[in-house]
């Protein structure tokens, strides 16, 4: 797998045009209207893609060809200063072979989403050298988001993003479960998507990086299985450190807590592990700059963005 230098992208300014596209699942027209309003309330102008009004098979926002074409077009369009994914769901991995790598690489801009959008985060970083924002999406998060979530995303969009300490919402503690200090480029996202891409040309590269993981509504044994798969695939041993986000709906009645399961699997690798960063399927939500150079100190329970993604 070739290694690309990560570019910095231009931060947004008030009233900039952002493209709204649906590379995965569909939404109702009522929710679309609320999603557009939520982005406008952040202070930006919205250009709505056709996929935002499409429904294909009941679970996709258009054919793979249509969704890929629209994403390519939004990167090429010089009026659009950032791309927001309408929602996650399912479908982003389908469009990876259809994306125009050179076009996207030559037209870098901010890109926001999470969950199924993990496939696109990984593609943009590894294939195009473009950093991205793992953050709330208009239809699934922003329409009901609290002030912490909105402000956290807004500050990530308008910059600067360097030399910033990442803080959880009040009352939520980040906890070091494997001691140590590590630094590297931040990568990762949804655990299911990362494991689903193993063995493909779009498999995540973790060497020298800080690996961020999160998940929703999975049973404990499935989380164990997926983390074990990453470990067997060398993704844990190659990483410098691990940041574990939220595990919404994954807390089941068990003698083992989720953090205990993670610690049991990860501790033998001797990599620092930070637990309970409130990023992922949660509200309030922290926005993360994937592709930024970060440092974690699990003994001090600190997560610092040393070099950000915007200029």
31 is written with which tokens?
């929710």
Any catalytic annotation for residue 214? yes
| H or E, element range at 191 | helix 191-196
Residue (of 174, 185, 194, 196) closest to 259 by Cα position? 174
Collapsing DSSP to helix, strand or coil, 187 comes out as strand
85's tokens: 């994914």
Catalytic residue among 214, 218, 240, 295: 214
Q: Report the first-to-last Cα separation within the chain, whole angstroms.
A: 27
Point out the catalytic residue in the list 69, 115, 140, 287.
115
The H-or-E segment that residue 221 falls in is helix 220-232
Is 134 annotated in the active site? no
Q: Name the catalytic one among 70, 134, 218, 281.
A: 281
b/e for 113-144, b at 16 or more Cβ within 10 A?
A: bbbbbbbbbbbbbbbbbbbbbbbbbbbbbbbe
Residue 281 annotated to the active site: yes
Residues serving a catalytic function are 115, 214, 281
């Amino acid at each position: 797998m070739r290694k690309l230098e990560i570019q910095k992208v231009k931060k947004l300014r008030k009233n900039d045009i952002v493209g709204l596209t649906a590379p995965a699942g569909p939404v109702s027209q009522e929710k679309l209207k609320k999603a557009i309003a939520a982005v406008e309330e952040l202070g930006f102008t919205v250009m709505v893609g056709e996929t935002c009004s499409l429904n294909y098979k009941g679970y996709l926002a258009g054919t793979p060809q249509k969704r890929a074409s629209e994403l390519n077009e939004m990167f090429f369009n010089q009026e659009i200063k950032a791309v927001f994914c309408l929602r996650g769901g399912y479908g982003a991995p389908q469009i990876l072979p259809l994306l125009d790598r050179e076009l996207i690489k030559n037209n870098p801009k901010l890109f926001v989403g999470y969950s199924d959008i993990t496939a696109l985060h990984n593609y943009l970083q590894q294939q195009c050298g473009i950093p991205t924002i793992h953050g709330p999406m208009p239809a699934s998060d922003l329409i009901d988001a609290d002030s912490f979530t909105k402000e956290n995303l807004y500050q990530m969009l308008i910059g600067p993003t360097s030399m910033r300490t990442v803080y959880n919402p009040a009352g939520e503690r980040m906890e070091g479960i494997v001691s140590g200090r590590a630094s590297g480029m931040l990568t990762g996202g949804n655990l299911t998507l990362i494991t689903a891409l193993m063995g493909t040309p779009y498999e995540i590269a973790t060497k020298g990086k800080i690996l961020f993981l999160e998940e929703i509504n999975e049973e404990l044994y499935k989380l164990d299985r997926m983390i074990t798969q990453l470990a067997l695939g060398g993704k844990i041993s190659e990483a410098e450190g691990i940041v574990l986000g939220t595990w919404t709906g994954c807390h089941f009645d068990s003698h083992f807590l989720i953090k205990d399961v993670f610690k049991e699997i990860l501790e033998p690798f001797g990599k620092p592990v930070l637990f309970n960063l409130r990023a992922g399927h949660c509200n309030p939500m922290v926005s993360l700059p994937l592709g930024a150079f970060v440092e974690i100190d699990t003994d001090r329970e600190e997560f610092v963005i040393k070099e950000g993604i915007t200029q």
